[in-house]
Amino acid sequence: MPDKNGFPHFMLKEIFDQPQGLRDTIMPRVSLPDGEVRIATEVRVDPLELRRLRRINIVASGTSRHAGLAGQYMFQDLAHVFADVDYASEFEYRNPPIGPEELTIVITQSGETADTMAAQRLARKKGSRSIAITNVMNSTVANEADGVLYTHAGPEISIASTKAFTAQMAVLFLTAMYLAQVREQLSQESVRRWIGELTALPEKTQATLKWADTCRELAQRYHRYEDFLFLGRAIHYPVAMDGALKLKEVSYVHAEGYPAGEAKHGPKAIIDEELPVVMIATCDRSDEGSKIRYEKSIADMGVYKKQGARIIALASEGDEGVAKLADHTIFVPPAPELLAPILEIVPLQLFAYYVALARGLDVDRPRNLVKAVTQD
């Protein structure tokens, strides 16, 4: 078993491993001079088939599914292919009408998740090509897939998945870019620009880790609260879900991730001084859609403050507007809308870790949970 390298817990070590995990996952697969993503030998699906794709089915469980939800936006925005995301445990129950000109992507850190393996086998039985995204070499889903894209995050020992999640999102983005290349949806200049943004992520993640002390202070302030609401819009909604899941897993706190625009359809009724609201309110100023969503989040925060809510916000560096409204603000480096989730999840992981620590819990081995769910 790997050691903790001086960290008190594997979870904290693995959170701090993320810059290197991203570097190892991204760098060998891109060429900035050539403006090219090089994963064809890993995907192992004929480019002619990829050009004819009508649909991508993404199947996963837990944190891996949240990565898949972020990937849905990446595939649709970059490659212009419709993508659907299923819970692995629910996939077979709806008898999905999979056929030719479809691709199934299964995501699992361990490569041995029973529900995900079953979904992969069903998709292949129905004639779909399958690509596995996993962190473990020669795992079952890897061996049974047409292609396999490994996340080079390194061994993940803590039950709560952290570095595997950010590496999964990076691999999904690379896959979306590769599909966009094959389908001629991105110019070489655009590919170079995206590669530049991708290769900047490890350094930006390292900068985000500097907020660890702030996250610890927030945990000391909020560790006695029993309910949290995490809100995000569009591609930030999966981050809200995973931030809530991390807190739930390691702290035994009831936390819910919700689409920010849906809060007015129920959750808004329970927002008061006893329910901390974690709002993801970053903004890509070069993206008109991002700016519109940001303005809606600002308006929501104003309403929640009037209801007495305590707001913990994630914002882009230099954003004073969010800081004026929120009780506490954590800033992340600026990033394009499609890549910001990789940075946003880091402080939420740290917050969950420090809340669990403040509550005196076993951070690496939460009760009733296992690392690889090998039974359905």
Residue 2's pLDDT is what?
A: 75
* Spatial CB neighbours of 243, under 8 Å, sequence gap ≥ 6: 230, 255, 257, 278, 345, 348, 349, 351, 352
Q: Residue 18 corresponds to which tokens in the numbers above?
A: 């993320």
In a domain, 369, yes or no: no
Residue 269's pLDDT is what?
A: 93
**Number of CB atoms found within 10 A of residue 224's CB:** 10
Q: What is the pLDDT of residues 154-171, one digit of tens each?
A: 999 999 999 999 999 999
Q: What is the pLDDT of residues 308-359, one digit of tens each?
A: 999 999 999 999 999 999 999 999 999 999 999 999 999 999 999 999 999 9
3-class DSSP assignment, residue 93: helix
Closest CA to 375 of 95, 117, 57, 109: 117
In the structure, what pLDDT confidence band is assigned to residue 106 with cuts at 50, 70 and 90? very high
* Statement to judge: residues 213 and 84 lie in one domain: no
* Statement to judge: residues 193 and 257 lie in one domain: no
pLDDT > 90: what percent of the chain?
A: 95
Residue 290's pLDDT is what?
A: 98
* Statement to judge: residues 182 and 247 lie in one domain: no
In the structure, what pLDDT confidence band is assigned to residue 371 with cuts at 50, 70 and 90? confident
pLDDT at 99 > cutoff 90: no
* Statement to judge: residues 350 and 252 lie in one domain: yes
Angstrom distance (rounded) from CA 106 to CA 267:
32
Q: What is the pLDDT of residues 168-208, one digit of tens each?
A: 999 999 999 999 999 999 999 999 999 999 999 999 999 99
* Statement to judge: residues 190 and 226 lie in one domain: no
Please check whether residue 307 is in contact with residue 272, taking contact to mean a CB–CB distance below 8 angstroms: yes
- Terminal Cα-to-Cα distance of the chain (whole angstroms): 27
Q: What CATH number does the domain containing 134 carry?
A: 3.40.50.10490
